Protein backbone atom coordinates (compact mmCIF):
# COMPACT_ATOMS: atom_id res chain seq x y z
CA UNK A 1 0.00 0.00 0.00
CA UNK A 2 2.78 2.39 0.88
CA UNK A 3 4.51 1.73 -2.44
CA UNK A 4 1.27 2.59 -4.24
CA UNK A 5 1.11 5.94 -2.47
CA UNK A 6 4.75 6.68 -3.22
CA UNK A 7 4.26 5.69 -6.85
CA UNK A 8 1.13 7.82 -7.09
CA UNK A 9 2.85 10.85 -5.54
CA UNK A 10 5.80 10.44 -7.91
CA UNK A 11 3.52 10.08 -10.91
CA UNK A 12 1.51 13.08 -9.83
CA UNK A 13 4.65 15.17 -9.38
CA UNK A 14 5.96 14.17 -12.80
CA UNK A 15 2.61 14.92 -14.41
CA UNK A 16 2.45 18.36 -12.85
CA UNK A 17 6.09 19.06 -13.73
CA UNK A 18 5.51 18.05 -17.34
CA UNK A 19 3.02 20.85 -17.83
CA UNK A 20 4.72 24.08 -18.88
CA UNK A 21 2.32 26.25 -16.95
CA UNK A 22 -0.41 24.28 -15.23
CA UNK A 23 -3.60 26.13 -14.53
CA UNK A 24 -4.35 27.05 -10.93
CA UNK A 25 -7.27 24.60 -11.01
CA UNK A 26 -5.01 21.72 -12.03
CA UNK A 27 -2.49 22.62 -9.36
CA UNK A 28 -5.24 22.71 -6.74
CA UNK A 29 -6.60 19.36 -7.93
CA UNK A 30 -3.12 17.83 -7.72
CA UNK A 31 -2.73 19.14 -4.17
CA UNK A 32 -6.12 17.69 -3.22
CA UNK A 33 -5.13 14.30 -4.64
CA UNK A 34 -1.82 14.39 -2.79
CA UNK A 35 -3.57 15.29 0.46
CA UNK A 36 -5.96 12.35 0.16
CA UNK A 37 -3.11 9.99 -0.72
CA UNK A 38 -1.12 11.18 2.29
CA UNK A 39 -4.12 10.37 4.48
CA UNK A 40 -3.63 6.79 3.38
CA UNK A 41 -6.57 6.49 1.04
CA UNK A 42 -5.71 4.31 -1.95
CA UNK A 43 -5.91 6.10 -5.31
CA UNK A 44 -8.44 4.60 -7.67
CA UNK A 45 -10.89 3.68 -4.94
CA UNK A 46 -14.32 5.24 -4.45
CA UNK A 47 -13.15 6.55 -1.08
CA UNK A 48 -10.26 8.36 -2.77
CA UNK A 49 -12.57 9.96 -5.33
CA UNK A 50 -14.93 11.02 -2.55
CA UNK A 51 -12.06 12.46 -0.52
CA UNK A 52 -10.85 14.54 -3.47
CA UNK A 53 -14.39 15.71 -4.29
CA UNK A 54 -15.09 16.69 -0.67
CA UNK A 55 -11.79 18.53 -0.37
CA UNK A 56 -12.40 20.31 -3.69
CA UNK A 57 -15.87 21.42 -2.57
CA UNK A 58 -14.51 22.65 0.75
CA UNK A 59 -11.73 24.62 -0.93
CA UNK A 60 -14.24 26.12 -3.36
CA UNK A 61 -16.49 27.18 -0.48
CA UNK A 62 -13.55 28.72 1.37
CA UNK A 63 -12.46 30.69 -1.68
CA UNK A 64 -16.02 31.97 -2.15
CA UNK A 65 -16.13 33.15 1.47
CA UNK A 66 -12.71 34.80 1.14
CA UNK A 67 -13.85 36.64 -2.00
CA UNK A 68 -16.71 38.37 -0.17
Domain ranges of the chain: 2-67
Torsion of CA 18, 45, 51, 4, to 10 degrees: -50
In the predicted structure, residue 38 carries a pLDDT above the cut 60 = yes
Mean local confidence (pLDDT), 18-39: 87
Q: How far apart are CA 58 and CA 68, in angstroms?
A: 16
In the predicted structure, residue 18 carries a pLDDT above the cut 90 = no
pLDDT of residue 56: 94
Instruction: Classify each residue of 38-68 as buried b or exposed e, where b means 16 or more C-beta atoms within 10 Å of its C-beta.
Output: eeebebeeeebeebbeebeeeeeeeeeeeee
In the predicted structure, residue 62 carries a pLDDT above the cut 70 = yes
Q: What is the pTM of this model?
A: 0.65
Amino acid sequence: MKIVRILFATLLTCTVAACASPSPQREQFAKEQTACARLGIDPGTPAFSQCVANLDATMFDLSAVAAR
